[in-house]
């Protein structure tokens, strides 16, 4: 299981930007910590009859722009600090995408692979019972995150609806299609990244056929990014998974590669050009080699902290699209900047997932199903607008895209907070 690390840099980043924006200390105080942070016990009856106590967390960072929104992760490394920082990141991500949501995050300290299906269901329902009065469609709307999925959301929404004594599909997002899930949710994050790729290619005059990509991670995000980029004609020459990657100089077909991976249980040897997968077309590559490939665009779509001060000087791509959360650390970013390598920050590049969650929340509230086309159109529109705002500010102020994205996101929440206090007559 991939280890989780928490991102203290994000809190530091907030402090620096808040200072630069001349935000009042009262507002900084409100924004630098969650408005509410709960740790609670979840008693679960195990299959052997024993009662076991698990610990759950929910951090509600800020709801100035709307109800808290953010995933619930099940992982043995879950900690209060990590959940706090991730909930703050959700506030900025929702603000930047102009969604009527604030930021939240939750988690349970557990290795879900060690639980039976029944134990997992009892844990999921127990989580909801533990925080029931603090969540709801207009209060705090959780979603899947690391090691949680549509089935877990279905149990959670059912538990919530039972406790509430009313059908409440808008209390959670990331649900199964049969239970008010959204068509297009699965591919939304990867699709959103390709909207950004499209904007970059227009700005820099990149011709898809001649533009090469290396993608780290071939899970939900990496695969869908590869799929939509390939459909637009981009040439994907490297992809990888945790155990290593493949290099296919003529450009690989993501759909065929996925089929091959499913058949073999790994991507090693899946050198698929068109519908033919043959050892002749490619070779094995390590994750470290992937990061240093002479491609035009590098897409880290796996885990955090993969581009660091140790390897930033060896990156040969001209552009980076941060699809994972926190793949480029701040020290690496300043090295990349000096080397004129442009990096699109995670809170913008991977916002497609939360934008789709917003659409799912709307359709669950309105009880009116959205078609996939409408979802993808909405994603394109929302992400293009967010990208354009960030791009314009970065040009105007001559700052990097990450700083521009944080400035916009934090400023918007700070402005709304100022109004809230002005009404109350505090500031």
Catalytic residues: 105
Nearer to ligand NAD, 62 or 287 (CB): 287
Report if residue 13 touches ligand NAD, rule: CB under 6 A: no
Q: Minimum distance between the CB of residue 19 and ligand NAD, rounded to whole angstroms?
A: 28
Strand 102-109, strand 51-62: pairing: antiparallel
Instruction: Give the C-alpha separation, 218 to 115, whole Å.
Output: 26
DSSP state of 318: S
Instruction: Give the C-alpha separation, 195 to 224, whole Å.
Output: 12
Report if residue 322 touches ligand NAD, rule: CB under 6 A: no
**From 89, 272, 303, 404, residue interacting with ligand NAD (rule: CB under 6 A):** 303
Report if residue 219 touches ligand NAD, rule: CB under 6 A: yes
Q: Minimum distance between the CB of residue 227 and ligand NAD, rounded to whole angstroms?
A: 12
Nearer to ligand NAD, 124 or 350 (CB): 350
Instruction: Give the C-alpha separation, 174 to 69, whole Å.
Output: 12
**Given its phi and psi angles, is residue 305 left (phi above 0), alpha (psi -120 to 50 degrees) or beta?**
left
Tokens representing 261 are 């991976």
The mark string for 14-53 relative to ligand NAD (x by CB under 6 A, - otherwise) is: ----------------------------------------
Neighbours of 341 (CB within 10 A): 20
The single residue listed with the structure tokens 């759950």 is: 56
Collapse the DSSP code of 285 into the 3-class scheme (helix H, G, I; strand E, B; otherwise coil) and give the result. strand
Q: Which residue is nearest to ligand NAD (CB)?
A: 219
Instruction: Give the C-alpha separation, 224 to 123, whole Å.
Output: 30
Which residues pair with residue 104 across a beta bridge?
60
The single residue listed with the structure tokens 């909207």 is: 195
Nearer to ligand NAD, 128 or 323 (CB): 323
Report if residue 394 touches ligand NAD, rule: CB under 6 A: no
Report if residue 257 touches ligand NAD, rule: CB under 6 A: no
Report if residue 287 touches ligand NAD, rule: CB under 6 A: yes
Q: Site for ligand NAD (CB under 6 A): how many residues?
A: 21
Report if residue 103 touches ligand NAD, rule: CB under 6 A: no
Instruction: Give the C-alpha separation, 8 to 91, whole Å.
Output: 16
Q: Minimum distance between the CB of residue 225 and ligand NAD, rounded to whole angstroms?
A: 9
- Specify the length of the chain in residues: 427
Nearer to ligand NAD, 87 or 325 (CB): 325
Report if residue 286 touches ligand NAD, rule: CB under 6 A: no
Nearer to ligand NAD, 181 or 353 (CB): 353
DSSP state of 326: S
**From 2, 116, 286, 313, residue interacting with ligand NAD (rule: CB under 6 A):** 2
Q: Minimum distance between the CB of residue 182 and ligand NAD, rounded to whole angstroms?
A: 12
**From 96, 171, 302, 404, residue interacting with ligand NAD (rule: CB under 6 A):** 302
Neighbours of 311 (CB within 10 A): 14
Nearer to ligand NAD, 102 or 184 (CB): 184
Segment interacting with ligand NAD, rule: CB under 6 A, options 39-47, 94-102, 295-303, 308-316? 295-303
To the nearest 10°, report the CA torsion of 305, 68, 175, 98: -80
Which residues pair with residue 273 across a beta bridge?
276
The mark string for 350-389 relative to ligand NAD (x by CB under 6 A, - otherwise) is: x--x------------------------------------
Map the footprint of ligand NAD across residues 69-98, applying CB under 6 A.
none
Tokens representing 266 are 């790994």
Instruction: Give the C-alpha separation, 100 to 63, whole Å.
Output: 9
Report if residue 217 touches ligand NAD, rule: CB under 6 A: yes
Report if residue 301 touches ligand NAD, rule: CB under 6 A: yes
Tokens representing 367 are 């009880």
Instruction: Give the C-alpha separation, 115 to 119, whole Å.
Output: 6
Residue 32 near residue 45, CB atoms below 8 Å: no
Map the footprint of ligand NAD across residues 176-195, applying CB under 6 A.
189
- Using CB under 6 A as the criterion, which residues of the chain lie in contact with ligand NAD when the complex forms? 2, 189, 216-222, 240-242, 287, 301-303, 323-325, 350, 353
């Amino acid at each position: 299981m991939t280890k989780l690390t928490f991102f203290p840099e994000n809190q530091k980043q907030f402090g620096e930007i808040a200072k630069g924006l001349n935000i009042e200390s009262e507002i900084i105080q409100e924004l630098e910590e969650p408005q509410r942070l709960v740790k609670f016990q979840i008693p679960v009856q195990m299959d052997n009859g024993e009662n076991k106590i698990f610990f759950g967390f929910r951090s509600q960072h800020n709801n100035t722009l709307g109800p808290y929104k953010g995933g619930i992760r099940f992982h043995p490394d879950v900690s209060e600090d990590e959940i706090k920082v991730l909930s703050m990141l959700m506030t900025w991500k929702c603000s930047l995408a102009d969604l009527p949501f604030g930021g939240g995050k939750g988690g349970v300290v557990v290795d879900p692979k060690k639980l039976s299906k029944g134990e997992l269901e009892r844990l999921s329902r127990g989580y909801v019972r533990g925080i029931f009065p603090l969540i709801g469609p207009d209060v705090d709307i959780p979603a899947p995150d690391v090691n949680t999925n549509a089935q877990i959301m279905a149990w959670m929404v059912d538990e919530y609806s039972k406790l509430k004594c009313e059908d409440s599909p808008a209390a959670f997002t990331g649900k199964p299609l049969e239970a008010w899930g959204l068509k297009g949710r699965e591919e939304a994050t990867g699709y959103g990244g390709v909207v950004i790729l499209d904007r970059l290619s227009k700005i820099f005059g990149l011709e898809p056929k001649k533009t090469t990509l290396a993608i780290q991670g071939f899970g939900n995000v990496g695969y869908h990014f590869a799929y939509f980029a390939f459909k637009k004609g981009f040439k994907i020459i490297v992809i990888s998974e945790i155990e290593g990657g493949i290099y296919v100089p003529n450009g690989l077909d993501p759909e065929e590669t996925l089929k091959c991976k499913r058949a073999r249980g790994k991507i090693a040897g899946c050198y698929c050009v068109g519908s033919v997968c043959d050892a002749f077309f490619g070779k094995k590559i390590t994750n470290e080699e992937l990061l240093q490939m002479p491609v035009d665009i590098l897409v880290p779509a796996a885990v955090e902290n993969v581009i660091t001060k140790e390897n930033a000087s060896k990156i040969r791509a001209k552009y980076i699209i941060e699809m994972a959360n926190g793949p480029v650390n701040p020290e690496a970013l300043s090295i990349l900047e000096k080397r004129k390598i442009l990096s699109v920050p995670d809170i913008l590049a991977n916002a497609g997932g939360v934008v789709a969650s917003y659409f799912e929340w709307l359709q669950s509230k309105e009880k009116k199903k959205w078609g996939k086309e409408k979802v993808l159109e909405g994603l394109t529109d929302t992400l293009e607008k967010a990208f354009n705002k960030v791009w314009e500010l970065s040009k105007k102020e001559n700052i990097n895209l990450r700083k521009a994205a944080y400035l916009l996101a934090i400023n918007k929440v700070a402005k709304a907070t100022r109004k809230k206090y002005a009404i109350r007559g505090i500031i």
